[in-house]
Amino acid sequence: MTAVVATLGAVLLVVVAGLPIGYVLLRDVRLGLLVAPIVTGLTAAVAVILMLVAGGSLRWWLGGLLIAQWAATPVLLRTVAPVRAPHASWADLLWLTVPLIPPFLTAFLPPTEWDAHSIWWLHAAYFTRGATMARQYIGHPSINISHPDYPPLLSATVAGAWSVFRGYGLYVAQFVSATLSFSAIAMLGYAVRVVTGRAPVIVSRLAAVCVALAAWGAAPFAAAKGYADPLWSAAFVAAALLLLFRPDPLRRPGLAVLLLTAVALTKNEGFVMAAVLAAIATVRMRHVLGRAWVVWLPVGGGLVWSAVARHLGAKSDIAAEVDFGSLLRGSSQIYDRLSPTLSAIWATVGAIVAVSMATAVIGGITLRRPRRALGLGGDLWLWSVALAYLAILSATYLVSTNEIHWYLNTSVARVTLPFALMAAASAVCWGVAAVTGGRIRGRATSAAAIETTSATPSPAPTSGTAEIGAREG
Amino acid sequence: MERGRMGDPVSAGSGETVRRWPRPSGRGRAAGHPIARIVLLLLALAVVSLTGAGAVNASMQGVRGGDPSRIGSDRLFKTQMETVRRQLSVQVPPRSTVFLGGSAGDLWYQRILEFAVMYDIIVVSDESSADFSLSLVREAAAASPGGLRLVATRNR
């Protein structure tokens, strides 16, 4: 089998395997195809966890889970309420995908990126070898430099492809990784399309493209060349927009929960930020607390992986090497790292964040009402997530024992991607409010969606929606 | 129903007070001061141009076949990786232990670690406990693609 056939086959497999659940979730084949790689990735991650716990080979676990998903699809289609996701059209599909193709051409470049090999594809190699070898390697001291505690989604998907298309093809790994990133970035664009859906169609579609194209940020090599940062960052900001900007986040929460689970099972900082987002979303939905538990499911998934990896002896570079006591005692050795850390973050995304914050402040003063008329939730929720990420990212650099300048030089361009995406999303949403001035697409839609004046006790979704929107004002 | 501020209490007509969303502007007059809207739009466009630069950069690299300063070295490195991987799988049997001397550097240590996993080989840090010692030597590209050869010396 040639490398080209194996690569094409692997991409096709990753897309087709997740299509049934993608379709059940969104009830549209086009959107189902876009989210399918994430579904396949989550299935592969679950298969790896089951393999590590129960033994056996990844091929059997992943194959079994996918067959079960396909078999369950007719039942799910009958039992799950058939609510079609909005903005499902060929035009939207093209707007969400075609602009992403040119920057994804970098997937054709030689697969030589350091972290892709040293972390994600190395993990994929031992997952491909089956439970016995994977358990042995995860706890082996020689692998510690490879962060074996990192969650398995990306590596598990590559391992799934390698289990079918044998030979550990590096282009197979690179294209499968790129397919996952493509899906997450397309879903980020879709999330923007959803939250700005009351604006005129062309404005909403342009907004979606602008935010999606921010996913290359300061690390243009990352999205298509095997890194996990664009994958988790795009999925994370997409979930944040769906949970924090929609007036009714618990109406059809499936996509947000799916994306957030992918975040928690892709990278350690993703897991931490999934918990942060779940907490902030819960505060936002405090008046419908009984139904907010669903946003904590992804955190549960991350905890399960964490427990399994720790049980197998995986060492975290942060937890294993740092002295948290020094951080709390205010050790000068720790705090000497603060200045270069903040300087590097500022040099990478400072200008973007500063201009975006200025946009948010001016918008908050002058265009709050048009923004509300578009159904966009309060911008402060998103900025509070960004602030939490700044604290967590800074603390990570402070407590690590890696030489700080080397550490920053090799990572800051990638790990600051969530800032760029949140800044872009915030500014673009204010831009939509500025362009439209609150004029929305058709009165009939707006009257039903925005005017929530139920005077009598109503079913939870409607009353909850009204409460969240009203009290944010 | 009359217009009201976001969250203003209004009568629902049945004597009960409820909260409501602001009435949308519909297709009519836009809300917000025109200058503020223009300023905001310009700021948003500034953010988009800053954040979109990476995608433009990646697109140009994709179309050109790579970063011009790295195209040659990336292709050479890819060839060297394939050569070293193939030679490792041919020279070292599965379930063997190997030791790689420090002269190879971090880059090749980590690549060989990765390739070793693919072929059930364990990399150890103590040469005396290794079945094979590995070293990388320069060689003519005609003899070993990429100009690099992996040499595996049996220790026991």
Q: Compute the nearest-CA separation of B145 from chain A (Å).
A: 16
Q: Report the residue from A351, A428, A451 with minimal CB separation from B20.
A: A451
What whole-number percentage of chain A has pLDDT above 90?
Answer: 80
pLDDT digits (tens, 9 = 90+) for A309-335: 999 999 876 665 566 666 667 677 777
Residue of B nearest to A445 (CA): B26
Say which range, A384-388, A453-457, B13-17, B26-30, has the weakest mean pLDDT. Answer: A453-457
How many other β-carbons are positioned within 10 Å of the β-carbon of residue A173?
Answer: 27
pLDDT digits (tens, 9 = 90+) for A52-94: 999 999 999 999 999 999 999 999 999 887 788 999 999 999 9
CA pair distance A77, A69, nearest whole angstrom: 12
Tell me, what's the pLDDT at B18?
A: 40
Say which range, A25-29, A251-255, B14-18, has the weakest mean pLDDT. Answer: B14-18
pLDDT averaged over every residue in chain B: 83
Q: Length of chain B in residues, anyone? A: 156
CA pair distance B33, B44, nearest whole angstrom: 16
pLDDT averaged over every residue in chain A: 90
- Interfacial B residues in 17-76 facing A (CB < 8 Å): 18-33, 36-41, 43-48, 50-52, 54-59, 61-63, 65-66, 74-75
- Identify which of A282, A238, A242, A277 has the alpha carbon closest to the alpha carbon of residue A375: A242
Tell me, what's the pLDDT at B4?
A: 37
Q: Is pLDDT of A425 > 50? A: yes
pLDDT digits (tens, 9 = 90+) for B115-147: 999 999 999 988 999 999 999 999 898 889 999
How far does CA B24 lie from the centroid of its chain? 43
Q: Compute the nearest-CA separation of B143 from chain A (Å).
A: 22
Partners of residue A435 in chain B, C-beta under 8 Å: 37, 41
Looking at residues B87-112, what average pLDDT do you find? 91
CA pair distance A420, A7, nearest whole angstrom: 31
Tell me, what's the pLDDT at A442?
A: 61
- Identify which of A86, A39, A65, A285 has the alpha carbon closest to the alpha carbon of residue A180: A39
Partners of residue B52 in chain A, C-beta under 8 Å: 210, 213-214, 216
Tokens 């159904």 sit at which residue? A375
What is the enclosing helix (H) or strand (E) of A61? helix A58-79
Q: Is pLDDT of A443 > 70? A: no
CA pair distance A129, A58, nearest whole angstrom: 8
CA pair distance B21, B4, nearest whole angstrom: 9
Q: Are A259 and A298 in contact (CB under 8 A)?
A: no
- Identify which of A128, A137, A204 has the alpha carbon closest to the alpha carbon of residue A164: A128
Tell me, what's the pLDDT at A322?
A: 62
Rounded to the nearest 5 percent, the helix, strand and coil shares of chain A are 80, 0, 20
What whole-number percentage of chain A has pLDDT above 70?
Answer: 90
Instruction: Say whether residue B124 is in contact with chain A using an 8 A CB cutoff.
Output: yes
If DSSP states are collapsed to H, E and C, what string results for chain B? CCCCCCCCCEECCCCCEECCCCCCCCCCCCCCCHHHHHHHHHHHHHHHHHHCHHHHHHHHHHHHCCCCCCHHHHHHHHHHHHHHHHHHHHHCCCCCEEEECHHHHHHHHHHHHHHHHHCCCEECCCHHHCCEEEEEEECCCCCCCCCEEEEEEECC
At residue A87, the 3 state secondary structure works out as coil
Tokens 């989550």 sit at which residue? A42
- Identify which of A310, A245, A325 has the alpha carbon closest to the alpha carbon of residue A271: A310
- Contact state of A428 with B21 under an 8 Å Cβ cutoff: no
- What is the ipTM, given to two decimal places? 0.89
Provide the edge-to-edge strand list for the sheet that holds B122-123: B122-123, B97-100, B132-138, B148-154
Looking at residues A151-155, what average pLDDT do you find? 98
Tell me, what's the pLDDT at A93?
A: 97
- Contact state of A438 with B31 under an 8 Å Cβ cutoff: yes
Q: How sure is the predictor about A461, in pLDDT bands with cuts at 50, 70 and 90?
A: very low
Q: How sure is the predictor about A96, in pLDDT bands with cuts at 50, 70 and 90?
A: very high
Instruction: Say whether residue B127 is in contact with chain A using an 8 A CB cutoff.
Output: no
Could you tell me the pTM of the whole model?
Answer: 0.90
Phi, psi of B122 (to 5 degrees): -105, 130
